[in-house]
Structure 1
Amino acid sequence: MNWIEALILGVVQGLSEFLPISSSAHLIIVQKILGIHVEGNQLEFEVLLHFASLLAVTIYFRKDLSDIVKGFFSYLLSRQNEKKVHFHFGWLLILSTGVTAVLGKLFEDVLGNNMTNTTTIGASLIVTGLFLILIEHGVKPGKRTAGQMTWRDGVIIGFGQALAVLPGISRAGSTLVTALWCGLDKQTAVRYSFLLSIPLIVGISIVEIPEMSPLFFNEYFFETTIAFIASFLFAIVGIKWLISMVNRTKLSYFAVYCIILGVIVWIFIQDVQIVI
């Protein structure tokens, strides 16, 4: 992997991480089409890109995150009613993350190597496109805010996020659909979806870090630095872009893109097993 390839993968990961188009599918497809190999260190590289996305969403939602963390622990210590909404929101994020972890592991065990089969990826991209059509033309936004969310919402949205273990199923798309289906308003659904990505990425990183080798970063320091910076900057762009598109009801563009890409992958790269 040279620095240009690292830059391309960083841009792809950054943009697609928070747009409803599936970052995992796009990384697989781009690496396959361009013949990019990360010299047997795919795990280290993906964790690096995920960390850049984590940094981006944490910085962008730093005020919300700070309010939730402070309010969560303040309520535990003081039981002040004005802090209860933050405690409630934080608890729901924990619940959704737990549901995602359990179901995501179950899906991985059941599907095995078929998860990265291009037939599965193509079908999943098409499903993502249908999710996005549902957001704009099927599932009407509700009126419930964060303070009116229940444990059932946390479980259902956690299930929606677990579907994104499949490359091709967009985490943003699936969580938005389930959040809106639960009757949340757009602002709450978008906010919950983005904040829910933080414990998920942290959890993935914690699990994978023990298997990482620091030798990869020493050998490809320049390339990994470029990829990290690109992923971080374009993740910020992706966050702003998605929020704008949801508010302007323009997700159909992404839906058409995902369906067309899914059909292309399914037809032209069918039955190819991609190992990542």
Structure 2
Amino acid sequence: MSLIEAIIFGIVQGITEFLPISSTAHIVITQLVFGYSFPGLSFEIFLHIASVLAVTIYFWKDLQKVFVGFFRFISRRSSSDKPMFFFGIYILTATFITGILGFFLSDFMGDAIKTPGIIAAALTLTGFALIFIERFHRTGPKTEATMTAKDSVIIGLGQTLAVFPGISRSGATLVVSLLCGLNRETAVRYSFLLAIPVILGSTVLGVRDFTPEMVEYIGVLNLIVSFIITFIFSILGIIWLIDFLKKSKLIYFAIYCFALAAFVLFYIDPNTVMDI
């Protein structure tokens, strides 16, 4: 891998990780464009660590608020800490559902979901979901203090759909959160905070793929550069998305998903089994 390619991979991962356009699909397409086949999920997971570091730093105050409120409620039973205690429970609930179901689904379906046709169909579904939530659904009034355990279960189930490459994790959680009646600000924050345990969980599962052979294949300098670039562009992506959602519409992401689906369908060999 050249240094330029390492930079490109970092930019792609950083920008797409938190946008509702499927970072997995973009990394796979980038691999195909450059003719790379990384062993297992090692390189993608390595870049995910940079993304989760970025979101953790950006939402550090929110995380601190949830952690402090969660444990203070356990020790003091203060009513003022109750909303953050349950918000922490809802994050753990959605994460548990996603982790368990995602593991069994991906193991059960195997390579059947890694074809260009499936990825194109998943991107198209993501696009239609974004259009529906933007054009035909009113934003609800729920906040961290008023969402329920039922909401967290439904959102966890929705997030599980991201096991299909082409279904955006952030897009799925955002759409399902809005369907459950969360207001847009809470839905966005919940989606970002859910990313932290989910990505960390996938990192733990993928550690076995991070071998000396993988490091040699990519190059130490390239790994360092791609990590730094991913971190920087993840921060920029988070800032841009939050600002974008305040004044623009999700339909623009839907159009992009349709265009990317067409590219996958017409320009990638349909017999290819993606290395995901």
TM range (shorter): over 0.9
Amino acid at match of 1:13: Q
- Residue 89 of structure 1 aligns with which residue? 87
Amino acid at match of 1:131: A
Q: Which SS does the other structure have where 1:18 is aligned?
A: coil
In the TM superposition, what are the counterparts of 1:231-250 in structure 2 within 5 Å? Answer: 231-250=230-249
The offset of 1:12, in angstroms, is: 0.3
- Residue 125 of structure 2 aligns with which residue? 127
Q: Distance in 2 between the 1:93 and 1:131 partners? A: 23
Amino acid at match of 1:87: F
The offset of 1:37, in angstroms, is: 4.1
Is the CA contact (8 Å cut-off) linking 1:97 and 1:200 kept in structure 2?
yes
In the TM superposition, what are the counterparts of 1:1-276 in structure 2 within 5 Å? Answer: 1-38=1-38, 40=39, 42-214=40-212, 216-217=214-215, 220-269=219-268, 270-276=270-276
Unaligned runs of 5+ in 2: none
Normalised to the residue count of structure 2, the TM-score between the two structures is 0.95
The offset of 1:214, in angstroms, is: 4.5
Is the CA contact (8 Å cut-off) linking 1:119 and 1:271 kept in structure 2?
no
Aligned residues with identical type, % of pairs: 45
Is the CA contact (8 Å cut-off) linking 1:72 and 1:90 kept in structure 2?
yes
| More off after superposition, 245-254 vs 61-70 | 245-254
Q: Distance in 1 between the 2:266 and 2:212 partners? A: 39
Is the CA contact (8 Å cut-off) linking 1:5 and 1:36 kept in structure 2?
no
Normalised to the residue count of structure 1, the TM-score between the two structures is 0.95
Amino acid at match of 2:73: Y
Is the CA contact (8 Å cut-off) linking 1:176 and 1:193 kept in structure 2?
yes
Is the CA contact (8 Å cut-off) linking 1:139 and 1:177 kept in structure 2?
no
Q: Distance in 2 between the 1:32 and 1:233 partners? A: 24
Is the CA contact (8 Å cut-off) linking 2:65 and 2:84 kept in structure 1?
yes
Between Structure 1 and Structure 2, how many residues are aligned? 274
Is the CA contact (8 Å cut-off) linking 2:130 and 2:171 kept in structure 1?
yes
Amino acid at match of 1:19: L
Amino acid at match of 2:265: W
Q: Distance in 2 between the 1:33 and 1:132 partners? A: 27
| More off after superposition, 114-123 vs 261-270 | 261-270
Amino acid at match of 1:171: R
The offset of 1:266, in angstroms, is: 1.7
Unaligned runs of 5+ in 1: none
Is the CA contact (8 Å cut-off) linking 1:135 and 1:176 kept in structure 2?
no
Q: Distance in 1 between the 2:195 and 2:139 partners? A: 21
